[in-house]
């Protein structure tokens, strides 16, 4: 082989490689995007290779991935909202339970109508809905009990 033939053979080989390299880069870019399967990877492929062999497929998969990501985001938000709503409902339920229990203790105190029953109510609910009334009754009933226990005047 002469020197000129070697040079010609090298030039032909380089020309073939130059034609082959863009296809290889395109395939590598596509492999990367497809293997990661995220909309951002498909967008990167489309921006790097707008006329690549897989541009149409990348555009379709990008739309599908964006829809899937949007759906996942909406589901996550719905779960968070449901959790917040459930905690609000739980708080309302607990408040209602406390009010019911306080009403039960108050009713029990008024049925007994003794100083001890009102003191028990005040011990359980010192700032309850009926606390002021219970204090007045403790004071009133306490005065009546102390005057009943005191000796009669001669």
Task: Give the span between the Cα atoms of 34 and 65, in whole angstroms.
Answer: 11
pLDDT band at 154 (very low <50, low <70, confident <90, very high): very low
More reliable by pLDDT, 104 or 14: 104
pLDDT reading at 80 higher than 50: yes
Average pLDDT score over residue span 54-67 = 92
Q: What is the pLDDT of residue 15?
A: 66
Q: What is the pLDDT of residue 37?
A: 86
CB-based contact 29:6 (threshold 8 Å):
no
Average pLDDT score over residue span 52-73 = 92
Return the top range by mean pLDDT from 2-16, 19-33, 57-71: 57-71
pLDDT reading at 14 higher than 80: no
Provide the 8-state DSSP code for 113.
Answer: T
For tokens 């033939």, name the residue: 5
pLDDT digits (tens, 9 = 90+) for 94-147: 899 999 999 999 999 999 999 999 999 999 999 999 999 999 999 998 887 665
Q: What is the pLDDT of residue 146?
A: 60
Task: Give the span between the Cα atoms of 29 and 6, in whole angstroms.
Answer: 34
Q: What is the average pLDDT score of the chain?
A: 84
Q: What is the pLDDT of residue 12?
A: 76
């Amino acid at each position: 082989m002469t020197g000129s033939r070697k040079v010609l053979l090298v030039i032909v080989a380089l020309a073939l490689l130059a034609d082959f390299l863009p296809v290889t880069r395109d395939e590598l870019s596509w492999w990367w995007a497809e293997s990661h399967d995220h909309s951002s990877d498909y967008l990167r492929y489309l921006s790097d290779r707008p006329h690549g062999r897989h541009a149409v497929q990348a555009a379709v998969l990008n739309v599908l991935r964006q829809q899937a990501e949007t759906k996942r985001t909406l589901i996550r938000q719905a779960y968070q909202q449901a959790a917040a709503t459930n905690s609000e409902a739980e708080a309302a339920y607990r408040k209602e339970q406390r009010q019911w229990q306080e009403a039960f203790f108050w009713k029990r105190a008024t049925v007994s109508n003794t100083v001890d029953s009102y003191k028990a109510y005040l011990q359980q609910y010192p700032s309850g809905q009926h606390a002021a009334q219970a204090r007045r009754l403790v004071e009133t009933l306490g005065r009546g009990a102390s005057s009943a226990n005191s000796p009669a005047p001669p």
